[in-house]
């Protein structure tokens, strides 16, 4: 990335700065000599780091768009990380929709109005879906066919559609979308990490799909590499290796328990009522079918090479 930021240092905005990815990213940005200023847009103040200024802007509010435009202009943003996405179902589906879909509309409107030079958006490989008829390796051009019954997935697919439309209308803005495999590590708090920490992982009997993961440090590295790159479009971010889900559970220190499909939903319901992390019925396809994303483009175009193997990444979750 080039432009005015070369003389004064980069001014970088971050939505969702208090999210898992935001917490991983902010210290990296603060330590980066190319970055002179960090502007966080969030309703919750993130942990303080050098160079950081926090603006409390609620992306779900109708008035957030003019406020974003004003602040984007006043700070002269060189790049924006849009990380304001939920990692699990909280506060109901309507809030998630307002934050992710409507909030992204406000962010993109502000980006377009201010000719933002670069936009980096967090996404997930889960959007490809897990199907019996899917290709063995999912490349970035693959249609996003995650389960429409899952609001968690459906809203994020809608955001990616917004991004594609934005790219066509605003070629002056470089847009990079990082589709992360499940992020694991000692400091992340997402549905997969919470489930692995329960040590008991019910799986549908007769199924053991292939999964990918990525370590939290490698996820942060990918975000930093996307900052000064000119690479655009979607990128799959994952370890090179794939593992059966039973091995994922075992390497994280847990035990996979095969459960007949006819009673699996009942078991998951009991776990949910007990306050234990569990999968929603609309997401059970990910426990039955493989979803393996091709990482070649991230390596060749973005220059992303994970430092952790899948085994090493999973082992860091033990005892976390």
CA 22/CA 82 separation, integer angstroms: 9
Q: State how far the alpha carbon of 57 is from the alpha carbons of 12, 21, 176, in Å.
A: 16, 18, 23
Q: What is the phi/psi pair of residue 22, to 5°?
A: -60, -45
In this prediction the pTM is 0.94
Per-residue pLDDT reduced to its tens digit, 28-52: 999 999 999 999 999 988 999 999 9
- Taking Cα atoms as reference points, which of 257, 260, 251 lies closest to residue 308? 251
| pLDDT value at residue 88 | 56
Res. 271 pLDDT band, cuts 50 70 90: confident
Q: What is the percentage of the chain residues whose pLDDT exceeds 70?
A: 95
Which residues is 138 bridged to in the sheet?
A: 293
Q: What is the phi/psi pair of residue 263, to 5°?
A: -115, 0
Per-residue pLDDT reduced to its tens digit, 60-119: 998 899 999 999 999 999 999 999 998 755 555 678 889 999 999 999 999 999 999 999
More confident residue, 179 or 134: 179
| pLDDT value at residue 232 | 97
Cβ contact 320:259 at 8 Å: no
For the chain, the domains span 5-183+213-238+293-307
Res. 4 pLDDT band, cuts 50 70 90: very low
The class level of CATH for 5-183+213-238+293-307 reads alpha beta
Structure tokens at 92: 């109901």
- Taking Cα atoms as reference points, which of 206, 294, 305, 212 lies closest to residue 251? 212
Per-residue pLDDT reduced to its tens digit, 310-319: 999 999 988 6
Which residues is 81 bridged to in the sheet?
A: 14, 120
């Amino acid at each position: 990335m080039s432009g005015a930021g070369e003389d004064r240092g980069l001014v970088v905005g971050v939505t969702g700065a208090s999210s898992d990815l935001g917490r991983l990213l902010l210290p990296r940005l603060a330590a980066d000599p190319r970055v002179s200023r960090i502007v966080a847009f969030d309703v919750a103040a993130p942990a303080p780091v050098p160079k950081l200024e926090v603006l409390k802007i609620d992306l779900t509010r109708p008035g957030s768009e003019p406020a974003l435009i004003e602040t984007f202009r006043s700070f002269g943003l060189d790049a924006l990380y849009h990380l304001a996405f939920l990692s699990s179902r909280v506060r109901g589906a309507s809030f998630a929709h307002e934050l992710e879909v409507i909030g992204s509309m406000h962010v993109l409107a502000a980006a377009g109005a201010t000719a933002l030079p670069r936009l980096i958006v967090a996404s997930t490989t889960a959007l490809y879906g897990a199907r019996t008829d899917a290709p063995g390796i999912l490349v970035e051009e693959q249609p996003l066919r995650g389960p429409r019954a899952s609001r968690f997935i459906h809203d994020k697919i809608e955001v990616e559609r917004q991004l594609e439309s934005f790219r066509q209308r605003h070629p002056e803005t470089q847009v990079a979308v990082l589709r992360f495999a499940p992020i694991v590590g000692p400091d992340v708090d997402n549905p997969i990490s919470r489930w692995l920490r329960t040590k008991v992982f019910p799986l549908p009997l007769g199924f053991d799909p292939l999964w990918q993961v990525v370590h939290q440090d490698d996820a942060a590295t990918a975000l930093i590499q996307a900052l000064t790159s000119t690479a655009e479009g979607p990128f799959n971010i994952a370890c090179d290796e794939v593992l059966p889900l039973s091995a994922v559970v075992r390497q994280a220190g847990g035990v996979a328990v095969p459960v007949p499909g006819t009673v699996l939903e009942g078991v998951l319901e009991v776990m949910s009522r007990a306050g234990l992390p569990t999968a929603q019925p609309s997401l059970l396809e990910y426990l039955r079918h493989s979803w393996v994303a091709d990482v070649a483009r991230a390596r060749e175009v973005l220059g992303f090479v994970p430092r952790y193997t899948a085994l090493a990444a999973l082992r860091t979750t033990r005892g976390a």
